[in-house]
Chain A
C-alpha cells in the first residue's frame, strides 16, 4: 500500500514537470520572460552551483539561510515551549501573560522587519530576531494547549504517587503535552522559513532570499525559480529532520505513529 502511495506521488510530480515542459518549451504558450523553461532553470542552477551568483555559490547561500532558520527556530522554541508549558500549568501566569499576547499576536511577524533592521542592521541578528517573533507564537500556543488537554487522571495519578514538582513537569506534563508541542514545532519551523525569506528579500547580503531579490532586479526568471525551488527543498528537508526527531521522541504514542 505504501508502494502505491509513492507511485501516485511520483506520477503527479511527473505530470507537473510534463505540463511545465509542454507550456514553455514545447508550445511556447508561456513566454520565457514570464516563466522559465526547464532548460532555463537548468542553466541557472548550473550557473549558481558552479560559478556562483549574488556573491556566492548555491551551497553558501543555502547554508546561510539554513543557519539563520535553525538559530532563530532554536531560540524561539527554547523560549516558547517553556512559556507555553508554564501558562498551561499556572492559571495565574496565563492570566498575566495572555492579555499581552493577545495584543502582540495579531501583528504579522513581517511587520517587525523594519524595526529589527533599525535595531540590528542587515546582519544575522535582525533576521534571528524576526524569526524568533514569528516562530515563538505557535510554540507557545500549542504547548499551552497541550498542557490544558492532558487527561486529568494522568495528573492525579502522578500526584497520588507523590511525584515532586520538577519531576511532575519533566516526566509527566511535558511528555503528556509532547504530541501537541511537536505540532507547534512544525508550525514554528514553517513560520521560520516564511519570515527568513521575507527578511532576506527586504535586506540581506547573502542567503536564498537575497538571491531571489537580486534575480528579480536582474530580471532573471530562471534564477528566481532556482531560489524558489531551493527554499522548497530546504523547507522540506528541515521538516523531515524534525519529523524524525518527533518519531523518536513519541515512539510510545500510537496515534502519532499514524
Chain B
C-alpha cells in the first residue's frame, strides 16, 4: 500500500508573518500504485510538494500524509530520486545501493541477493564496483533509481530526475521508467517541468500555478492511454506522434502558458 494525501497544505518560507508564501491550499490524493506528475512554472513550489512528502520540509499549515499517517521525518518507506543524483561519491555502485539495506539490518546474504536484483533491473551489473564519478550522468541516475527501488518503498518520489541528463539519455531513461513501472508498479510522485515527459509517464498530471503555487487542474491521462492503447508502441516518439498525446500535451501547454501570460512573461 502507498497512498499520498495533501490536505489543505500551505507552505511559507521565512517568518510566519511576512514570509514568502510558496504553496497555497494544496489538495491532492494519489492512490496506491498511481503515477502522478506535477508540472508547473519554475519557482511554483512543485519540488517543495515532493520535499514535504519526503519529510525534508514540514508544511506550514495542513497535513501531508502517506497511508493515512502524517509525515514527520524522512524514511525509507518514501524513497527519493534527486535531480542531481545525490550518490555517495566515496562508495561504489554496489555500496550505494546496499546502504539502505544495511540500515534495515538485513543479513548479508539477503542484501547480496537484493542488490544483485537491483543491479540486474537497471542494467548495472558490469558497473557494480565502479565509483559514481566513473559513470555517465544517465548511469549515475540508474544507480540512484536502483538505490531507491531496492528499498521496496511504498512510494517513490522523483524530483526532476532526468532534468540533468542530455536529451537522448533522457528519452532512454523515460522508456526505462515505463518498463520499470510495468514490471514493478509503485506509487510515484514525479516532479518535472517537461510537459511531454509528464504526459508520457503519468496516470494523472497536476498543473500548478505560479507562486504562490496552487493546483490549477488535474488531467486524467490513464483513461486516454488505455482508450488509445499507447502501450502498444514501444518507442516514445511513436507515442508522442499520436493525436491523443498531442492533444493532451497542447492542453497542458496552454494551461501553463496562461500562467505566464497572466504575469506578462
CB nearest to B73 among chain A residues = A159
Instruction: Check A159 against B103 for contact (C-beta < 8 Å).
Output: no
The reply on B133 being an interface residue by CB < 8 A is yes
Q: Is the interface of B mostly helix, strand, loop or mixed?
A: loop
14 contacts between A and B (CB under 8 A): A153-B86, A156-B56, A157-B82, A158-B88, A158-B99, A159-B56, A160-B55, A160-B79, A161-B79, A161-B151, A162-B74, A163-B103, A175-B88, A178-B90
Instruction: Check B131 against A160 for contact (C-beta < 8 Å).
Output: no
The reply on B75 being an interface residue by CB < 8 A is yes
The proximity string for A residues 143-180 relative to B, scoring 1 for CB distances below 8 Å and 0 otherwise, is 00000000101101111111110010001100110100
Which chain A residues in 162-217 approach chain B with CB under 8 Å?
162-164, 167, 171-172, 175-176, 178
CB < 8 Å neighbour of A160 from B78, B88, B89, B91 = B78
CB nearest to B54 among chain A residues = A160
The reply on B80 being an interface residue by CB < 8 A is yes
How many of B's residues come within 8 Å of A, CB to CB? 27
Instruction: Check B100 against A162 for contact (C-beta < 8 Å).
Output: yes
Known interface pairs A162-B75, A252-B133; A157-B103 also in contact (CB < 8 Å): no
CB nearest to B76 among chain A residues = A162
The proximity string for A residues 9-43 relative to B, scoring 1 for CB distances below 8 Å and 0 otherwise, is 00000000000000000000000000000000000
Interfacial chain B residues near A163, Cβ < 8 Å: 99, 103
The reply on A46 being an interface residue by CB < 8 A is no
Instruction: Check A162 against B89 for contact (C-beta < 8 Å).
Output: no
Interfacial chain B residues near A159, Cβ < 8 Å: 55-56, 73-74
CB nearest to A154 among chain B residues = B86
Interfacial chain A residues near B65, Cβ < 8 Å: none
Residues of B whose CB lies within 8 Å of any CB of A are: 54-56, 73-76, 78-80, 82, 84, 86-91, 99-100, 102-104, 131, 133, 147, 151
Closest chain-A Cβ to B186's Cβ sits at a distance in Å of 15
Q: How far is the CA of A153 from the CA of B74 in the complex (A)?
A: 12
Closest chain-B Cβ to A167's Cβ sits at a distance in Å of 7
Interfacial chain B residues near A172, Cβ < 8 Å: 88
The reply on A64 being an interface residue by CB < 8 A is no
List 4 additional A-B contacts (Cβ < 8 Å) besides A161-B100, A163-B103, A176-B88.
Answer: A156-B74, A159-B55, A159-B73, A161-B103
Interfacial chain B residues near A178, Cβ < 8 Å: 90
CB nearest to B131 among chain A residues = A252
Q: How far is the CA of A156 from the CA of B16 in the complex (A)?
A: 24
The reply on A253 being an interface residue by CB < 8 A is yes
Q: Is the interface of A mostly helix, strand, loop or mixed?
A: helix
The reply on A1 being an interface residue by CB < 8 A is no
The reply on A254 being an interface residue by CB < 8 A is yes
Closest chain-A Cβ to B123's Cβ sits at a distance in Å of 22
Residues of A whose CB lies within 8 Å of any CB of B are: 151, 153-154, 156-164, 167, 171-172, 175-176, 178, 252-254
Interfacial chain B residues near A160, Cβ < 8 Å: 54-55, 74-76, 78-80
Interfacial chain B residues near A164, Cβ < 8 Å: 103
Interfacial chain A residues near B100, Cβ < 8 Å: 161-162
CB nearest to B100 among chain A residues = A161
Instruction: Check B89 against A252 for contact (C-beta < 8 Å).
Output: yes
List 5 A-B pairs, minimum CB-CB distance, nearest first: A153-B86, A161-B100, A159-B74, A162-B76, A157-B86
CB nearest to A167 among chain B residues = B103
Instruction: Check B76 against A157 for contact (C-beta < 8 Å).
Output: no
Interfacial chain A residues near B103, Cβ < 8 Å: 161-164, 167
Interfacial chain A residues near B78, Cβ < 8 Å: 160
Q: How far is the CA of A2 from the CA of B90 in the complex (A)?
A: 27
Known interface pairs A162-B104, A252-B133; A175-B90 also in contact (CB < 8 Å): yes
CB nearest to A174 among chain B residues = B90
Instruction: Check A253 against B80 for contact (C-beta < 8 Å).
Output: no
Q: How far is the CA of A163 from the CA of B96 in the complex (A)?
A: 12
Interfacial chain A residues near B91, Cβ < 8 Å: 171, 252
Q: How far is the CA of A122 from the CA of B103 in the complex (A)?
A: 52
CB nearest to B133 among chain A residues = A254
Interfacial chain B residues near A254, Cβ < 8 Å: 133
Instruction: Check B88 against A156 for contact (C-beta < 8 Å).
Output: no
CB nearest to A164 among chain B residues = B103
Q: How far is the CA of A176 from the CA of B76 in the complex (A)?
A: 21
Known interface pairs A161-B103, A171-B99; A151-B151 also in contact (CB < 8 Å): no
Interfacial chain A residues near B56, Cβ < 8 Å: 156, 159
Interfacial chain A residues near B147, Cβ < 8 Å: 161
